[in-house]
Structure 1
Amino acid sequence: MTELVTGGEAIVRAIKAHGVDTVFALPGVQTYPLMDALKRAEGSLRVIGPRHEQAAAYMAMGYARATGRPGVYSVVPGPGVLNTGAALCTAMAVNAPVLLLTGQVPSGFLGKGRGHLHEIPDQRATLSSFIKWAERIEDAASARALVDRAFETMTSGRPGPVSLEMCWDRMAQKGPVTDADIPAPAQPAAPDPAQIAAAATLLKSARHPMIMLGSGAQHAGPEVRALAERLNAPVTAFRGGRGVLPADHSLSVDSVTAYDLWGDTDVLIGIGSRCELQAMRWRGMMDPSDRITAERRLIRIEIDPEEMLRLKPDAGVLADSAAGTAALNDALAAEGIARTGDPQRIAEARTHAREQIAQIQPQVAYLDVIRKALPRDGIFVKDMCQAGYASYFAWPVYAPRTYITSGYQGNLGFAYATALGAKVGCPDKAVVTVLGDGGFMFAASELSTAAQHGIGVVAIVFNNQAYGNVARDQITNFDGRTVASDLPGMDYMKLAEASGVAGHRVATPEALGPILEEAIAADKPALIEVQIDLDAETTPWPLILRPDLPYTP
């Protein structure tokens, strides 16, 4: 059936055909036809309006990270799009499928440089330089095909953000649009038997293999578990791969334990991972080339062929992580290879790691209280703060997509808006985010968004009246001189009241517990301020960046 509809209506019909149920949007004149189409579709499509464009993009990213489905947002072109640049970079870092829908100057002004409203020289080229794909919809009739391509691009291979723009006059013009079936998703190629055989050969003589997981392994839990149990291999992750193997599995180890086991590890199996821990954070453990040191061998199961060039493996398997891991396990089974690792060695390293982690106080005490209150499948979003850094190793993760970070971008202030998006995508799950007072203020205006839309995120703000990490670095490295790292006092209870959310203030882990439990049970927006002294916080960085030699039992 063919109908005459506006470009905005054509876009909305197309995203609905792909199952989109939520759009995070901040409207403006260049996107009015799209906004009107969203309004007309509100019975089947929810629109969440934030207070800042950057928040719209972070919400879409949080939605995508928590659900595994594409997150969609819309802002005006030019400054609106640029305001979301940090979130788009973050979506690239964490492999989140995010779709930006934006406008453009009127078609007659494209490329003219006349200074039309919100014009930048080449928006499409600018976006293409740091996201996965960007394109322009020329008219309503071509909208469906380009939306289909956008969904295929952002979800296939290594997922990532994409963008579609449309000139505001073309977005208002009507054109013929025909309903069509969604194209079948492209299927990744099956693992190459020769590559699998090469990886299996390396594992034949392995005594102490280790498995390193990244975001690309989020869907590969059963396959990872089968391989780990065959090899008795410890399974670790730094950020994106946490929870693929539950933290209470005997072979799941945090990054501190993994470092203690690294000294005599002879084969590293990276699955959907950049292997950042081993290649970048464990300083002194790499040779000058882009390879793991000669004492160890590296196997990589990775869907992105360029990754094989960035960190060169001894045996590379170019495949989807689940399919590649399953194929490797089958090859090992056929060879009769099993139980190469040493469970006692893992248990001893775990005990030693717990002793080290327990020294990071009071952050670990607070994390323990939060973990006890948050259900097993609850979602935890950490910002760039002292408790957040400690969570890299001190926060047990029991399920995929329940530990959300900003990946290698490490950008301050992303977490609150991201947590809101995660809650919108997973309304039946509890969502808690930990933030510093500095990072929280990047998005504090979104408290009113949470109140307006009833988004039940619990925000725990650790208030040490500083950009704590920067202040500590300045004090340590520049003879105590600090600049622009101290923050003024803020009455967060008044801020919460003014925004329409519940506010609480505590100063100890013991006081946090019951208040947090009540806030989670209420399933309403809440702000909990934790008053803390910067000097009382033990730095977690010696357990993250490791210049020392691995522990040997």
Structure 2
Amino acid sequence: MNCARQLIQLLEAYGVDTALGIPGVHTIELYRALDQSHLTHVTPRHEQGAGFMADGYARASGKPAACFIVTGPGMTNIATAMGQALADSVPMLVISSVNPRHTLGRGQGRLHEMPHQSETLAGVSLFSHSLHDPAALPEVLARAFAVFASARPGPVHIEIPLDIMVAPAPEGQAAPARVFPPAPTPEALALAGDWLSGAERPLVLLGGGTADAPEAARALVERLDAPAFTTINAKGVLGQDYPLDLGATMSLPAARRLAVEADVVLAVGTEIGETDYDLDADDGFRLDGKLIRIDIDPEQLGRNQEADLAILAEAGQAMRGLTERLPKAAARDGAERATTVRRALALAEDPELAPYVPLFDTLRNALPEAIVVGDSTGPVYAGNFLASMPAPRRWFNAATGFGTLGYGLPAALGAALARPELPVIALVGDGGLQFVLGELGTARDLGRPVAVVIWNNDGYDEIRRYMSLSAVPHLGVDLTAPDFPALASAYACRHISVTEPASLTDALGQLDEANSPLIIEIDAAAWSTSL
């Protein structure tokens, strides 16, 4: 029993079933142990792809995957994906090698040498630990999984020196402890219940922290008869077309007026951060009523909006406990208030959003149960306002938090690994997809019918628009896209060109006809002309 083998056994004990990585000479001992395990291993074409796949896996399933990454360049490659996961509170376990202990810090020019690797990765992780004793491995993993289960999640990095990886490890380790998240105190729930019971115009803000408690969220909102905003990462928590759900519209004027008018606001599992509440970066989202915040992260309780009552607790427990303390539903005209705002928003008539309405109508009608994973691209920005999902963990993208390009395709592959029973759509732009074209090979290796829907507008159109608004010349944003049909053929993927909604419906209908990726290329200019 060496350290590498014990690591694999511990991962299995914690319920990890998927490992992502590109084998290298510095991680070969992990693969010797992996061969004798029940973990499924997937090889992406780039370590950043491994990180994005782990991100998509966790968002779709709520469980972390493991990434096995080589020293040095492997870690700098995955750092961007770790930054995205940290920004959006996504659990991810990154296991890396590092050179033997006796060589560290000596600058001898050894293979993959990276000075202060652990410190470098600390900025994109909840913690980065360098293991110097094989006997400490169970303790370090226990710490990681305790964070995943009972605190605000994110990436954790553990580096193992090559000499430690092959060192003997103690056998017969104890089973992983059961870890429970913090629960709300009765006093806090009683006070919150009093404030909400006396509210005339309550408002609820639901963030990604509520994704695992949709029933509790609906019960609470119904008991309060209150309109609710659901952030991008909470989309689907209240179900599809829920009458009290105003979606992620908090940056828009009509939604902001509702927020100002609320006399008591309950915010659960949400940062109240810029990428959901302040897209214009004008600090215009304001709350004049009492603010009750519930969050699993004590530091988050004091950020962005000052709370009148801050409750440290896991969202589901807190919402269930709070609902029990509220009187039976009082008529507060919640649906009417929500309808008034919805009419004022008139999203489908907004000239910026209107071209995308048929797109999301088509996706919804053709694949109503699909997980839609987006990159930073025009349709995804629009979908953050327009899309309505039947359940949580069905809509996520890189337009929030870190805001990286190249996320959509590999994250969609991770979602397909996590939820093979559901169709998966990667909604990407031609510019962002070019960050990760190699992952089409990974998609083909997986043999899953993932739809890669490309919104082809010949470059970085969102940046072009910002340049036009700021009177900046269009430099660096007009790209030559690859020949996507030829590219699909090279990777043994299917390809269909689309110019209007009817042909998109026909294309999506072919998704399950073969166990291979289906690339659907939408000509953005022709699509807009057809409407």
Measured against the shorter chain, the TM-score band is: over 0.9
Aligned to 2:19: 23
Is the 2:232–2:248 Cα contact (8 Å) retained in structure 1? no
Describe the superposition over 1:89-140 as per-residue Cα deviations: whole angstroms up to 9, x where unpaired: 1111221110001100111112223232222221112222331112122344
Measure the CA separation in 2 of the matches of 1:355 and 1:59: 32
Is the 2:233–2:396 Cα contact (8 Å) retained in structure 1? yes
Measure the CA separation in 1 of the matches of 2:311 and 2:326: 15
Bigger drift between 102-111 and 201-210 goes to 201-210
The equivalences for 1:393-432 within 5 A come to 393-406=385-398, 407-432=400-425
Please tell me the residue identity of whatever aligns with 1:16. Answer: E
Q: Secondary structure at the match of 1:411?
A: coil
Q: CA deviation at 1:423?
A: 0.4
The equivalences for 1:222-241 within 5 A come to 222-241=215-234
Aligned to 2:119: 125
User: Do the aligned partners of residues 329 and 119 (structure 1) sit closer, same or farther apart at CA in structure 2, a change above 3 Å counting?
Assistant: same
Please tell me the residue identity of whatever aligns with 1:265. Answer: A
Q: CA deviation at 1:495?
A: 0.5
Structure 1 stretches lacking a partner, 5+ long: 538-553
Aligned to 2:272: 275
Measure the CA separation in 2 of the matches of 1:210 and 1:517: 40
Aligned to 1:346: 338
Measure the CA separation in 2 of the matches of 1:51 and 1:476: 37
Alignment of 1:477 with 2:477, yes or no, is: no
The equivalences for 1:36-75 within 5 A come to 36-41=32-37, 44-75=38-69
Q: CA deviation at 1:178?
A: 2.1
TM-score by length of 2: 0.93
User: Do the aligned partners of residues 316 and 341 (structure 1) sit closer, same or farther apart at CA in structure 2, a change above 3 Å counting?
Assistant: farther
User: Do the aligned partners of residues 113 and 338 (structure 1) sit closer, same or farther apart at CA in structure 2, a change above 3 Å counting?
Assistant: farther
User: Do the aligned partners of residues 283 and 171 (structure 1) sit closer, same or farther apart at CA in structure 2, a change above 3 Å counting?
Assistant: closer
Measure the CA separation in 1 of the matches of 2:66 and 2:392: 21
Measure the CA separation in 2 of the matches of 1:315 and 1:282: 28
Is the 2:17–2:65 Cα contact (8 Å) retained in structure 1? no
Is the 2:455–2:522 Cα contact (8 Å) retained in structure 1? yes
Please tell me the residue identity of whatever aligns with 2:35. Answer: K
Is the 1:154–1:162 Cα contact (8 Å) retained in structure 2? no
The equivalences for 1:524-543 within 5 A come to 524-533=516-525
User: Do the aligned partners of residues 36 and 340 (structure 1) sit closer, same or farther apart at CA in structure 2, a change above 3 Å counting?
Assistant: same
Is the 1:124–1:134 Cα contact (8 Å) retained in structure 2? yes
Q: Secondary structure at the match of 2:278?
A: helix
The equivalences for 1:34-433 within 5 A come to 34-41=30-37, 44-185=38-179, 187-256=180-249, 258-259=255-256, 261-262=258-259, 264-276=261-273, 280-281=278-279, 286=284, 292-293=286-287, 295-310=288-303, 311-333=305-327, 338-354=330-346, 356-357=348-349, 359=351, 360-376=353-369, 378-406=370-398, 407-433=400-426
Describe the superposition over 1:13-38 as per-residue Cα deviations: whole angstroms up to 9, x where unpaired: 11111111110111111111012211
Measure the CA separation in 2 of the matches of 1:220 and 1:423: 22
Describe the superposition over 1:399-432 as per-residue Cα deviations: whole angstroms up to 9, x where unpaired: 0111112331121111110000010111111100
Q: CA deviation at 1:174?
A: 3.2
Q: CA deviation at 1:500?
A: 1.2
Q: CA deviation at 1:68?
A: 0.6
Please tell me the residue identity of whatever aligns with 1:497. Answer: S
Bigger drift between 176-185 and 446-455 goes to 176-185
Describe the superposition over 1:160-184 as per-residue Cα deviations: whole angstroms up to 9, x where unpaired: 1101111112212333322431112
Is the 1:70–1:155 Cα contact (8 Å) retained in structure 2? no
Bigger drift between 57-66 and 348-357 goes to 348-357
Q: CA deviation at 1:299?
A: 1.3
User: Do the aligned partners of residues 439 and 89 (structure 1) sit closer, same or farther apart at CA in structure 2, a change above 3 Å counting?
Assistant: same
Please tell me the residue identity of whatever aligns with 1:321. Answer: A
Q: CA deviation at 1:453?
A: 2.0
Measure the CA separation in 1 of the matches of 2:6 and 2:123: 27
Is the 1:236–1:242 Cα contact (8 Å) retained in structure 2? no
Aligned to 1:10: 6
Structure 2 stretches lacking a partner, 5+ long: none
User: Do the aligned partners of residues 175 and 232 (structure 1) sit closer, same or farther apart at CA in structure 2, a change above 3 Å counting?
Assistant: closer
Is the 2:496–2:521 Cα contact (8 Å) retained in structure 1? yes
Is the 1:31–1:76 Cα contact (8 Å) retained in structure 2? yes
Q: Secondary structure at the match of 1:131?
A: coil
Q: CA deviation at 1:263?
A: 5.1
Q: Secondary structure at the match of 2:171?
A: strand
Bigger drift between 198-207 and 486-495 goes to 198-207
Q: Secondary structure at the match of 1:420?
A: helix
Task: Say what the alpha-carbon RMSD is for the aligned residues.
Answer: 2.2
Measure the CA separation in 1 of the matches of 2:258 and 2:495: 43
Please tell me the residue identity of whatever aligns with 2:290. Answer: R
Please tell me the residue identity of whatever aligns with 2:345. Answer: A
Q: Secondary structure at the match of 1:86?
A: helix
Please tell me the residue identity of whatever aligns with 2:431. Answer: G
Q: Secondary structure at the match of 2:496?
A: strand
Is the 1:373–1:513 Cα contact (8 Å) retained in structure 2? yes
Residue of structure 1 aligned with 2:433, choices 406, 415, 440? 440
Q: CA deviation at 1:355?
A: 5.3
Measure the CA separation in 1 of the matches of 2:44 and 2:284: 44
Measure the CA separation in 1 of the matches of 2:448 and 2:114: 34
Describe the superposition over 1:322-375 as per-residue Cα deviations: whole angstroms up to 9, x where unpaired: 111122222222xx6733343223223334434545642322211211111123
Q: Secondary structure at the match of 1:59?
A: helix
Alignment of 1:494 with 2:492, yes or no, is: no
User: Do the aligned partners of residues 258 and 372 (structure 1) sit closer, same or farther apart at CA in structure 2, a change above 3 Å counting?
Assistant: farther
How high is the sequence identity, in percent, across the aligned residues? 32
Is the 2:206–2:228 Cα contact (8 Å) retained in structure 1? yes
Is the 1:61–1:98 Cα contact (8 Å) retained in structure 2? yes
Aligned to 1:514: 506
Measure the CA separation in 2 of the matches of 1:393 and 1:505: 26
Measure the CA separation in 2 of the matches of 1:247 and 1:346: 15
User: Do the aligned partners of residues 476 and 536 (structure 1) sit closer, same or farther apart at CA in structure 2, a change above 3 Å counting?
Assistant: farther
TM-score by length of 1: 0.89
User: Do the aligned partners of residues 128 and 285 (structure 1) sit closer, same or farther apart at CA in structure 2, a change above 3 Å counting?
Assistant: closer
Please tell me the residue identity of whatever aligns with 1:32. Answer: I
Q: CA deviation at 1:201?
A: 3.2
